[in-house]
Amino acid sequence: MFCCSNCFAHSWLKMYVNEHSDSTGICGFCGSEDVRLLSVNELAGPFRNMLSMYVVAEAFESGEPLLFLIQWRWDVFEDDLAESQQETLLEEIVNSDWDDDDGEDRLDAKELYMPKASQWFHNTHSDTWEQFCSDVRGDSEATIPFDEFMAEELAESEETLRAGMIFSRARAGFTLDENQERFPWSGTEIGAPPVPKARAARANAEGQVVLYVADEEKTAVSEVRPALGFYVSVANLTLRRDCRVLDLTKVLPELNPFEGESIGWRIEIRDLLNRLGEEVSQPLERADDLTLYLPCQRLAEYIHQNHYDGIRYPSALNPGGSSIVFFDPEVAEIGESKLVKVTVVNFEYEVDDEPRFADRLKAASLEWNRNRTE
Ligand SMILES: [Zn+2]
């Protein structure tokens, strides 16, 4: 059987079909005429990669038809192609190299499947991290759940910040000169605190000195959470050397499910990196329950041990902005500082009813079934 690029919606598949085709004619699935054709078995490998992240649902688990799952997540087939044709094409591709000696059943596109990650006995990295966050608050020595390979995986979010880059750092309030005039905190007064004053925070334990900076002035000011009418001192800091940071704000390119055999694993790593970004940027209550800092402190320690100079994370207080914590407080030179007065404090809110992933999947599935029966 031969298919053509018009059968597919996924851009990589369209390209793959055209590049590997060595004949033209009428497509056996969508009926397109005078198109480049590719034998379905040429796509068996790429489809197996994608399907490696799904498993047949057990009777007691709630699965979805395989075709629905892959269309919803990856937009594989062209919508104009009738659903029964999509099912046939999927089966033809995957079963094209089926061998009745290897003990596996032929694929049935109508069978109920589920993403491996949501199977009850499978813990994703994010699940494991979640568990650690809760464990470490009771036992600060709890083992961080990252194995030796994790450091390599994290490298996907590595970024180099170049010497000469300028950052901002703020300190609430001001100092008074001999004439009782307001002056901004400057020099070491606005730099990293000395050891006795280094209070426990997101990325450092009590007495451990690190340097927190922001990407821009507005982020720095927002992060000290000043009230309307308050004064804030702000300084520029210049990076003295190149620094290798774990950048949790980095937007990672869309993964291609058809290339690479460990796609499920890579998706989990993506999820974990996003989860860590959320963890680090979470604004904490001022009601200083110091155990709340423990998961992030332990993460920072792990990142530091893996020879990173710091972590960049999204600012929860200035959406779109970012903060960076450097493990070496001497890494940046403190420049000029100035005093600003807060004139507007902006905030927005929403009702906390974000549906869970499982509920969104269910809703999409109902919609799909409705369209199918109409
Ligand atoms: Zn076609």
pLDDT of residue 250: 84
- Cα(2) to centroid of ligand 1, in Å? 8
Please name the amino acid found at residue 29. F
86 CA to centre of ligand 1 in angstroms? 10
Chain segment 64-79, per-residue pLDDT in tens = 999 999 998 899 999 9
**Separation of CA 1 and ligand 1 centre (Å):** 11
Query: So what's the pLDDT on residue 310?
Result: 95
* Gap from CA of 88 to ligand 1 centroid (Å): 12
Q: How many CA atoms lie within 13 A of 241 on its CB side?
A: 9
Regions of the chain short of the pLDDT cut 50: none
**DSSP per-residue letters across 196-245:** GG---BTTB-TT---EEEESSHHHHHHHT-PPTT-EEEEEEEEESS-EEE
Nearest to 167 by CA among 365, 324, 370, 57: 324
Report pLDDT for 344. Answer: 84
- Whether the CB-CB separation of 184 and 190 falls below 8 Å is answered with yes
Helix (H, G, I), strand (E, B) or coil at 254: coil
Residue 107 CA to ligand 1 centre (angstroms): 21
- Model pTM? 0.73
CA of 76 to the centre of ligand 1 (A): 13
Model confidence over 297-334: pLDDT tens digits?
Answer: 888 888 999 899 999 999 888 888 999 999 999 999 99
Query: Do residues 18 and 73 make contact, with C-beta atoms less than 8 angstroms apart?
Result: no
Q: Which two tokens stand for residue 229?
A: 């009418």
Q: How far is the CA of 13 from the centre of ligand 1 (A)?
A: 12
Q: What is the DSSP letter of 230?
A: -
Q: How many CB atoms lie within 10 A of CB 82?
A: 12
Is there a contact between 88 and 6 (Cβ–Cβ < 8 Å)? Answer: no
Q: What per-residue confidence (pLDDT) applies to 142?
A: 87
pLDDT at 295: 85
